[in-house]
Amino acid sequence: MQVNAGAVAALTAAGKAVSLLPVGVLAIEGTFRKGDIIRLTDEKGHLLGLGIAEYGSDKALERLGQQHQRPLVHYDYLFLTPTLA
């Protein structure tokens, strides 16, 4: 799953626990179901981390880029790579 620069900035901000929202997602690769572990990458394809999907790829595609939606990855289940955390 590819996220935009705004999402990268929000997720990596010091001292804040932030969930990944659909508004920050640029592209979804492959299919997944609720509870699956998904890879998060930036716009250049660099690995940001892993997260547990709160819902499946079908719903995520419907909500792609939309505001005021449930988090796709809740911060409790978001694991950023050490270089960015």
The DSSP annotation for 8-70 comes to HHHHH-TT---PBPGGGEEE--S---TT-EEEEE-TT--EEEEEE-SS-HHHHHHHTT-SS--
Q: What is the pLDDT of residue 26?
A: 96
Residue 85 covered by a domain: no
For 67, the domain range is 2-80
- Domain count of the chain? 1
- What are the pLDDT digits (tens) for 26-40? 999 999 999 999 999
Higher pLDDT, 12 or 50: 50
The CATH code of the domain that includes 75 is 2.30.130.10
6 located within any domain: yes
- pTM for this entry: 0.89
The answer to whether residue 58 sits within a structural domain is yes
Residue 46 lies in a domain: yes
Q: Does pLDDT of 76 surpass 80?
A: yes
pLDDT at residue number 85: 46
Residue 52 has pLDDT above 90, yes or no: yes
Bridge partners for 78 per DSSP? 51
